[in-house]
Amino acid sequence: MFWEEKIETMQRSDLQTLQLERLKQTVVNAANAPFYKNFFAKNSFDPSTIRTLDDARRIPFTTKEDLREAWPYGLLAVPKDELVRMHSSSGTTGRSTVIFHTARDLDAWTDTLSRSMYMTGMRKADVFQNMMTYGLFTGGLGFHYGAERLGALTIPVGAGNSKRQIQLMRDFDTTVLHIIPSYALHLSGVFEELSVDPRRDTRLRIAFLGAEPHSEKTRGRIEEFYGLKAFNSYGLSEMNGPGVAFECQCQAGLHVWEDNFLMEIIDPDTLEPVADGVEGELVLTTLKREGMPVLRYRTKDLTRIIAGPCACGRTHRRIERITGRTDDMLIIKGVNIFPVQIEKKLMGISDVGNNFQIILERKGYNDHMIVRVEVTKELFSGDLKQLESLRKKITEELRSDILITPRVDLVEPNTLPKTEGKAVRVLDNRAD
């Protein structure tokens, strides 16, 4: 059942003792980095004054901007020759940030992934097809080494080339996939085009979905189409990458690996902690990284803690699937909307296809939202009335949730832009 039973099922009090010990080490080590040395001096923070886990709240927050400013080596806490790997973030919201690892850092990171994959039921006998980009992006290599350590045959195919992906799945009896959810939806269209049914023609049984927000509806669609169990995988390059939080077989929230990360959830406006169960911004501190410790990193990701024990027996606390990033939030006519809300509604409607796009425009002082939705090909060849009634239904469903009325345009499959990496859902044409 467990990859590292002792750690995964540790009593909370022991886990907290371990966290405190590692927090103290991390903060003292961080002071070796030029960035934190200055940062501590500027904020009059003395690293030797951490005595309890609550003392972590006295450490100033680190932001993505701080990491950008410390480019390239400002956050290194060890001599450069101790490093063995560099990674970088995807740069979704601006210039990407870089992360460095020592050999021990990579070892710890790999463990969190083997542990996560094992937790979902993946075993040595599985064949693992890693459909994430290799290279600077953390999703490829992170999972790659985790799967190898688990002992599974690993196919490092990387992203893209849908037909080859399907061929590999069939020829080598792939059982486990690591895939971006929007790409999994897109790929289902390619399966259909080729008249290949993954339930009949492949041995797929598990998928890891990560790198972008997605709703329970999307998970449901993917599980249904591929005939497998899909598990949510969360991480960010500043905290290694994948392997920060992962779903267990209960599929009821993601366990945060608290022996590696100290977790806080704060109100993004007041910066004060919120109560368990209340949504806020996730803040993380590395507890086991020596090359480049990062303290109280504001992830900008919104989630909440799911209180109480998990039926799987693991004691590491769970978080709810991520709603979105604070900077993903769209403000239209004074209403706050996350793209995933729209995704959730659309993926719950059966005639809706696998892709959509949100376009924002400004006319005079008014903002308008246009939602372009791919629908099944058959609808375009059939009765126009059917198309119109679907358009009305989508408009109404969206309006009931987001409280503004978007213009809905229905388009044929494969007409909207798609990416091999994270989906770009929003096109904001509002000139500032």
Q: Residue 310 interacts with Zn ion (CB under 5 A)?
A: yes
Q: Which stretch binds Zn ion (CB under 5 A): 130-138, 248-256, 386-394, 423-431?
A: 248-256
Smallest distance from ligand ADP to CB 201, Å:
28
Q: Which stretch binds Zn ion (CB under 5 A): 28-36, 104-112, 241-249, 278-286?
A: 241-249
Comparison of 130 and 299: residue with beta carbon closer to ligand ADP = 299
Q: In sequence order, which residues have a C-beta less than 8 Å from that of residue 294 and are 6 or more positions away?
A: 62, 67, 75, 238, 239, 284, 285, 286
Q: Pick one of Zn ion, ligand ADP, none as the site partner of residue 213 (Cβ within 5 to 8 A by kind).
A: ligand ADP
Rounded Cα distance between 303 and 266, Å, is 10
Side by side, which strands form the sheet with 261-266?
261-266, 280-286, 297-303, 324-325
Residue 54: CB atoms within 10 A of its CB come to: 10
Binding site for ligand ADP (CB under 6 A): 89-92, 96, 210-213, 232-237, 299, 301, 322, 325
In 3-state terms, the chain is what percent helix, strand and coil (to 5)? 35, 25, 40
CA distances from 286 to 124, 230, 294, 347, 408 (A): 29, 27, 6, 35, 44
Smallest distance from ligand ADP to CB 53, Å:
23
* Tokens encoding 128: 């693992």
Q: Pick one of ligand ADP, Zn ion, none as the site partner of residue 158 (Cβ within 5 to 8 A by kind).
A: none
Comparison of 118 and 338: residue with beta carbon closer to ligand ADP = 338
Comparison of 89 and 102: residue with beta carbon closer to ligand ADP = 89
Comparison of 90 and 154: residue with beta carbon closer to ligand ADP = 90
Query: Using the 8-state DSSP alphabet, how is residue 81 labeled?
Result: G
Q: Residue 248 interacts with Zn ion (CB under 5 A)?
A: yes
Q: Pick one of ligand ADP, Zn ion, none as the site partner of residue 277 (Cβ within 5 to 8 A by kind).
A: none
Q: Which of 204, 312, 337, 398 binds Zn ion (CB under 5 A)?
A: 312
Q: In the stretch 148-187, what mask flags binding to Zn ion with x, by CB under 5 A? A: ----------------------------------------
Q: Residue 274 interacts with Zn ion (CB under 5 A)?
A: no
Q: Pick one of ligand ADP, Zn ion, none as the site partner of residue 248 (Cβ within 5 to 8 A by kind).
A: Zn ion
Query: Which of 307, 142, 122, 323 is CA-nearest to residue 236?
Result: 142
Residues 421, 426, 427: CA angle, nearest 5 degrees:
110
Smallest distance from ligand ADP to CB 209, Å:
7
Asked if 175 and 127 touch (Cβ cutoff 8 Å), the reply is yes
* Tokens encoding 198: 């993954």
CA distances from 37 to 42, 98, 183, 227, 349 (A): 9, 19, 42, 52, 53
* Tokens encoding 406: 């978007």
Q: Pick one of Zn ion, ligand ADP, none as the site partner of residue 325 (Cβ within 5 to 8 A by kind).
A: ligand ADP
Smallest distance from Zn ion to CB 405, Å:
40
Rounded Cα distance between 303 and 186, Å, is 26
* Tokens encoding 241: 């990458």
Q: Pick one of Zn ion, ligand ADP, none as the site partner of residue 310 (Cβ within 5 to 8 A by kind).
A: Zn ion
Distance of alpha carbon 361 from its chain centroid, rounded?
A: 28
Smallest distance from Zn ion to CB 312, Å:
3
Smallest distance from Zn ion to CB 250, Å:
5
Comparison of 208 and 297: residue with beta carbon closer to Zn ion = 208
List contacts with Zn ion (CB under 5 A): 248, 250, 310, 312, 314
